Each structure stands twice: as structure tokens, then as C-alpha cells.
């Protein structure tokens, strides 16, 4: 089966390469020509538009920054809708607002196609090694048809419910991740100010109840002062904006999410929006006038 892959950014590029390594034939499109050429050098073919991708592939995967980008690629000029044929499937792996997933699914279904929303967690490192976690929304029979292909890019592929459920689950994931990093940051800065090495704190607590995947992924980066992005602060701002928007739609207060959003916005004002989200600690370090390094 020839697979269409649209969106070859930090995440999409290594994900597409993993599909090529698994033996799939890819037709790719991105606004960045250099990214397309890089993936083509490993065996992919290049399309001139999302429409061309849809005209030639029954399965189209998209990995894009946010809701407007997905809407443009699917419903815009020379978009997927212009070339889609009945029986085709679109799997949007972007992290977007659940309401937009539902909107675009309805447009695709009117053309006889199906859609899954399947955002991922794990950032660039797990995109590279093919161990992402997929949170999927959509029809169970369509999920079963796509599950093995998604499994070539991820270690976990879970159906969470109907269309939109994948992105709702991703929003929950992003809330938990951001608040975990903030809690770690508060704790490390407290320890450092009180005269305890943050590395010692990390090693002492990681095996107990406070231990987590987030802690093990981000604490070593913080201790080294390494804020090279695996997942940028600006993208976490985007995800939490979608979470707050969705919360308003369904009538749920998110007081802690609102607070961490203000912290992320403060970091953006300081020009740190391109840093990894473990850079949340720099907000606390600035308040306490101390760096929490090993």
C-alpha cells in the first residue's frame, strides 16, 4: 500500500523515515522543500500538493503544527478533500482542538472517506526511535486497519473513543506533563536554595511515588542546563490553549492549567519559547535568583 505523508517537521520527518525503514512506499508533501528532498533521499516520492497525495494514496497521514494548518491541508486550496476518493482513510497525527477533528471528519465522510485523530506523545527522541504513544479517536474498524502501520512509529497505539477522543486524551496528557515539569522545577529550586543538590533530590525520589516518565526524561536535561528542544515551549502553549478552549466549550474549570499557561507565557515574553518545555524551571530560577543545576 502506498501511504501519503503530509508534514515533515521535527516529528513528521523521523516518523516518515521509520515507515520507509519498515518497507512502506511513501508519497510525501511539505511546504519545506529541503525536508521533502531529505526524506526522498531515503526512498520516498514527492508530491506537489496535498491534493496529489490524496489522488494517489488510499491512506493519508498528516503531522502538522496546529488546527489551522490541518484545516488548510485538508480543506484548503489543492487540499486533501479536492483529491480524496471514496474508501480512503485520513489519519491526522497532529495535536489539535478536538472540535476541529470532528469538523474535518464530517467533511471527509461527506466524500466517502474516513478519519482518525491520532496525536502522539513522546517528542522528537521517541519519534526518532519509533516508540511514540498514539492516542486515537475514530471508528473501531478504521482503527484496526491502521493500527499496525501506526505501530511502526510507536510503542503504544490505543483507541480512546470516537473522533476527537484522541485529541482530548492528548490535551489531558499535555496538562499532566506541564504540571509535572512545574512541580519538579519548584522542588529542585527549593532544594538548591536550601542547600541540597538537585541531582541528589532526583536520585533519591525517582524510585518512589514521585518518580515518573516525565521526571526521568526532563530532570537530566535540567541538571545539565540543556534546553535544546525535544518539545518546544511554544508548542506546549499551543496545546494548553486548545485545552483551555475545549474546557470552556464543555464547561470545565482548569485552574492549574491556567496557572502553568501564565508561566509559559512569561517564558515566551523572555524570548525562551523555542526552548524545550523543561525550561519551565527557568521561570522559578528567575524568581529565586538561583540556578538548579548539579
In a domain, 293, yes or no: no
Q: Among 17, 170, 238, 272, which one carries the catalytic annotation?
A: 170
The domain boundary, picked from 120, 143, 163, lies at: 163
User: Any idea what the CATH number is for the domain that residue 223 is in?
Assistant: 1.10.1040.10
- On whether both 158 and 212 belong to a single domain, the answer is no
- On whether both 256 and 157 belong to a single domain, the answer is no
The domain boundary, picked from 163, 196, 213, lies at: 163
- On whether both 135 and 244 belong to a single domain, the answer is no
In a domain, 123, yes or no: yes
- Written as tens digits, the pLDDT of the chain (294 aa) is 799 999 999 999 999 999 999 999 999 999 999 999 999 999 999 999 999 999 999 999 999 999 999 999 999 999 999 999 999 999 999 999 999 999 999 999 999 999 999 999 988 889 999 999 999 999 999 999 999 999 999 999 999 999 999 999 999 999 999 999 999 999 999 999 999 999 999 999 999 999 999 999 999 999 999 999 888 999 999 999 999 999 999 999 999 999 999 999 999 999 999 999 999 999 999 999 999 998
- On whether both 80 and 112 belong to a single domain, the answer is yes
- On whether both 178 and 157 belong to a single domain, the answer is no
In a domain, 259, yes or no: yes
- On whether both 152 and 212 belong to a single domain, the answer is no
- Quote the number of domains for the chain: 2
pTM of the model: 0.91
Rounded to whole angstroms, the Cα distance separating 112 from 123 reads 33
> Which residue in the block uniquely carries the three cell numbers 478519519?
115
- On whether both 155 and 234 belong to a single domain, the answer is no
Strands in the chain per DSSP E? 2-6, 25-29, 45-46, 59-62, 89-92, 114-117, 120-121, 132-137, 154-161
Pinpoint the alpha helices (H) of 225-273: 233-250, 255-269
Q: Is 249 left (phi over 0), alpha (psi -120 to 50) or beta?
A: alpha
In a domain, 6, yes or no: yes
User: Any idea what the CATH number is for the domain that residue 108 is in?
Assistant: 3.40.50.720
The domain boundary, picked from 163, 185, 200, lies at: 163
- On whether both 132 and 242 belong to a single domain, the answer is no
In a domain, 136, yes or no: yes
> Which residue in the block uniquely carries the three cell numbers 477533528?
101
pLDDT of residue 178: 98
Contact at 8 Å (CB) between 79 and 73?
yes
Query: Beta-carbon neighbour count of residue 156 at 10 Å?
Result: 14
- On whether both 12 and 124 belong to a single domain, the answer is yes
- On whether both 137 and 185 belong to a single domain, the answer is no
In a domain, 32, yes or no: yes
**CA distances from residue 281 to 187, 224, 261, 270, 286 in whole angstroms, order as listed:** 10, 12, 14, 13, 9
pLDDT of residue 125: 87
* Alpha carbon 264 to its chain's center: 17
Structural domain of 26 = 2-163
- 170 as an active site residue: the answer is yes
In a domain, 102, yes or no: yes
Judged by DSSP in three states, 232 sits in: strand
pLDDT of residue 113: 98
In a domain, 117, yes or no: yes
Amino acid at each position: 500500500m502506498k501511504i501519503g505523508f503530509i508534514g515533515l517537521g521535527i516529528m513528521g520527518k523521523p516518523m516518515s523515515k521509520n515507515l520507509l525503514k519498515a518497507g512502506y512506499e511513501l508519497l510525501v508533501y511539505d511546504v519545506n522543500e529541503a525536508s521533502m528532498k531529505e526524506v526522498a533521499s531515503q526512498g520516498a516520492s514527492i508530491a506537489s500538493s496535498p491534493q496529489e497525495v490524496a489522488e494517489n494514496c488510499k491512506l493519508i497521514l498528516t503531522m502538522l503544527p496546529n488546527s489551522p494548518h490541518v484545516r488548510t491541508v485538508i480543506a484548503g486550496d489543492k487540499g486533501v478533500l479536492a483529491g480524496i476518493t471514496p474508501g480512503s482513510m485520513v489519519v491526522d497525527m497532529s495535536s489539535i482542538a478536538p472540535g476541529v477533528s470532528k469538523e474535518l471528519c464530517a467533511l471527509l465522510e461527506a466524500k466517502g472517506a474516513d478519519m482518525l485523530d491520532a496525536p502522539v506523545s513522546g517528542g522528537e527522541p521517541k519519534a526518532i526511535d519509533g516508540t511514540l504513544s498514539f492516542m486515537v479517536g475514530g471508528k473501531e474498524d478504521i482503527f484496526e486497519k491502521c493500527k499496525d502501520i501506526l505501530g511502526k512509529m510507536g510503542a503504544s497505539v490505543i483507541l480512546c473513543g470516537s473522533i476527537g477522543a484522541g485529541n482530548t486524551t492528548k490535551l489531558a496528557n499535555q496538562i499532566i506533563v506541564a504540571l509535572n515539569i512545574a512541580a519538579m522545577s519548584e522542588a529542585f529550586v527549593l532544594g538548591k536554595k536550601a542547600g541540597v543538590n538537585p541531582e541528589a533530590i532526583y536520585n533519591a525520589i525517582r524510585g518512589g511515588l514521585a518518580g515518573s516518565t516525565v521526571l526521568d526524561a526532563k530532570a537530566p536535561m535540567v541538571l545539565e542546563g540543556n534546553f535544546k528542544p525535544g518539545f518546544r515551549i511554544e508548542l506546549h502553549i499551543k496545546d494548553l490553549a486548545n485545552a483551555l478552549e475545549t474546557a470552556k466549550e464543555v464547561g470545565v474549570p482548569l485552574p492549574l492549567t491556567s496557572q502553568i499557561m501564565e508561566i509559559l507565557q512569561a517564558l515566551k515574553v523572555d524570548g525562551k519559547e523555542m526552548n524545550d518545555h523543561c525550561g519551565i524551571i527557568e521561570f522559578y530560577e528567575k524568581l529565586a535568583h538561583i540556578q538548579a543545576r548539579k
